[in-house]
Amino acid sequence: MTDADDLAARVREGDLRLYELEEHADADTAAAARRLLLAEETGADLSTVGEYAFDADVAESNVENMIGAAQIPMGVVGPLPVDGSAADGEYQLPLATTEGALIASVNRGVSAIREAGGATVRVLKTEMTRAPVFSVEDVGEASEVATWVREHTDELAEAAEGTTNHGELRDVTPYVVGDNVYLRFGYDTKDAMGMNMATIATEAACELVESETPASLVALSGNLCTDKKPAAVNAIEGRGRTVAADVFLPHELVEETFGTTADAIAEANTRKNLVGSAKAGSLGFNAHAANVVAAAFLATGQDAAQVVEGSNAITTAESREDGLYASVSLASLEVGTVGGGTSLPTQSEALDVLGVGGGGDPAGSNADALAEVIAAAALAGELSLLGALASRHLASAHAELGR
């Protein structure tokens, strides 16, 4: 069997390219050869990068030119009681992060939610989108295409769903900008995050549009989807899972847990998350929802770049007669429990901790449950940070916990 030194030598001699190594050796040997070459070129010590606890071949669908693995510390928050449409019970949520104070802060919010009897959480909408852009001659043709699409959604669904065993086309919305026609396809992708599913299905539907209308496909993604970029359309219409969580905390619990009052937390939320965000032109009206979303994504094998959409969240806090009402609504949380990085061993174990690994019964229920637990944890994080700001303990907490 070819060893790493031999492979590296063949690359140096120009006999092989880096991406061809798996054709001549197993994936772990190929990764070791790349580490040798990279260490020679840069002088870096890659011994820790090469210490990973899975066979490299399981990552072949996730990465090219593999050299090893990036290891991120993982902690856990919980038990977090969730009353959801799919998640029902107490959950331990693994979070992978390098940010000191984050897990301690979220756990403080979790303790308040637990003492209050749990968070109510619901997935309100499920729809993964892909929006191709077509060119036409003029506005007249654009209108013709848009009309045809509205009248032939069933045929488009048949074409799209013929590419998948699980995805269902929910709707197609045309948008016209001069001689451009954008079609925003929305799918129920069940337990998969579904971006690849939606892309393949949409390509098939586009072939039908081109054959039946004057439209000519320019790009399978026209950025009206919108994937991995801040976008108002996702904040308004949603993408992936639209999920909301709330909780009511009695005054005594607020004061015991956060060292402040419901009035102070509500004021901090209004002035920071709402007014401050509006002045900044932000699409996220929250304190740090992306912190929890990112840590959960890394731990459970989600597409990390889609934290952009996951930060599309609005936090509310209202001081009522008996205590504090707080909520967080995430418009576009894109998660799955099958496919992508969820099959990697570490991430698969994290999903098993939650009890949502693989496909759910009914289909889609595991991904719904994951979304609901993440939303509840995001609410815990919002409560804790708002409490720290209102009590003026933010800087001291970070100093104490090394951030």
Q: Which residues are tagged catalytic?
A: 99, 303, 398
Give the type of residue at 337: T
Rg of the chain's alpha carbons, rounded to an integer?
24
Rounded CA-CA distance 387/245 in Å is 18
Contact 378, 313 (CB under 8 A): yes
Three-state SS annotation for 47-94: CCCCCCCCCHHHHCCCCCCCCCCCCCCEEEEEEEEEECCCCEEEEEEE
| 334 contacts 137 by C-beta, under 8 angstroms | no
Residues 30 and 5 sit within 8 Å (Cβ to Cβ): no
As given in the structure block, the two tokens for residue 285 are 């009206």
Q: What is the dihedral of CA 396, 94, 71, 29, to 10 degrees?
A: 180
Contacts (Cβ under 8 Å, ≥6 apart) of 349: none
